[in-house]
Chains A and B, each alone.
Chain A
Amino acid sequence: MHIYIFDYFLNQKSHEAVVAKIETRLTDLGLNGKNCHVGPLKSLKSIVKEEFKNNPKTIVAIGNNATLNQLINALEENDITVGIIPVGDNNSIAQSFGIEDEERACNVLSARLVETISLGKINEQYFIAAAQIANKETILEINGKYTVEPTGPGLTKIINLNADASGPKSSPQDGLLEIVVSVTKKGLISSSTDVSFIQTSRLIANNLAHKNFLIDNAAEVATPAEITVVKGGLKVIVGKERVF
């Protein structure tokens, strides 16, 4: 059975039409299941916990990157296939799965092409795409063997799945995380960016300025943080136009 979890922001009137459209399309495709709506007294985590009792085959998040991130963290280590129907902004993960909009997402769910991907794990939180932090006062210890320290302002990204088409290639199926350190150099006329690129499966990151990591553009995680990769951590329904 499919469980559809509609994120809290979809309760707004502006999204009424989209939600109705999705529900109709799912019924047309014969994919109807149980619809659950996140509300002020009902979190996504509590919905997932409750629905575990019914042994669902598939749980579909309807929302954005934040919805998907909450879902994978609520699943714990249960062997459930996950789907996404993107609505609104901040849907880079769905796009890298080859799912452009809600209508195509319903067709993708119908085709049910399942891929197993790795997940990034930062302390006790999981992420699909990336964890990022400001360069300032950040030190990375890679595999306990060496340290990497950016010497200028910019952004350090730990990537599992590269949702940004302009960035380096990163497969969520190779069991490795890509560390991309971008340092911005301001010149008199224009500024340039130096990029460093390292692959690893484990690192410890610390920020002496007590800045937090932002995972999947959705949640914050405090430093110091141990970041690892969980091989084959998630079964996900993807489209043919996926980036990996």
Chain B
Amino acid sequence: MFKKQEADNFKEAETIIGPSVKVEGDFVGQGNIIVDGVIKGSVTTNGNLRVGEQAKITAVVTAANALISGEIHGNVTIKGDLELTENAKIFGDVETKSICVARGAILNGKCAMTNNEIKDNKKQSLEKTEPEIRL
């Protein structure tokens, strides 16, 4: 679906967790992240996340867009697009704006589709219509 776009996004990954590295704790990144190793704790980024086939993540995951080919034990929140390849395994709840699941992917958990932009717009319009209270 958005493989080409994802490939372009990951050309300039700011963080790469290789297969021979173990990360524990609250991992926070500002840019694109590629994970091929082991992470325990939480993963948060404003950029895109790519989880490789060898990756094992036991964490709460939050990212702008994500391409998952590895294993995730924990809840996944994606603001934009989420793609699960045939090797992807997610054991946790997923919240995303759009999703693409390949045949063979495992998703064990609730999947909620949210539109953050619509939510934001509604919130803004509600805020505007609220009457002003003057004393």
Contact = CB atoms under 8 A, between A and B. Distances in A.
B21 A181 contact: yes
B121 interface: no
A152 B18 CA distance: 11
B23 A146 contact: yes
Nearest to B30: A199
Contacts of B18: 181, 183, 194-196
Interface of A: 145-152, 154, 181, 183, 185, 194-199
Interface residues of B, number: 19
A152 to B, nearest CB: 5
A14 B36 CA distance: 51
B16 A195 contact: yes
Contacts of B37: 151, 196
Contact of A148 (B14, B22, B28, B36): B22
Chain A interface, >50% SS class:
strand
13 contacts: A148-B22, A149-B22, A149-B24, A150-B22, A151-B20, A152-B20, A183-B20, A194-B19, A194-B21, A196-B17, A196-B18, A198-B15, A198-B16
A151 B27 contact: no
A185 B25 contact: no
Chain B interface, >50% SS class:
strand
A16 B19 CA distance: 51
Nearest to B20: A183
A159 to B, nearest CB: 14
A175 B94 CA distance: 36
A147 B22 CA distance: 8
A146 B41 contact: yes
B60 to A, nearest CB: 13
Nearest to A195: B18
A185 B19 CA distance: 11
B117 interface: no
Interface in B1-54: 13-28, 36-37, 41
A149 B22 CA distance: 5
Contacts of A149: 21-24
Given A149-B22, A152-B20, A183-B21, 11 more contacts: A145-B27, A146-B24, A148-B22, A150-B21, A154-B20, A181-B18, A181-B20, A183-B18, A196-B17, A196-B18, A196-B21
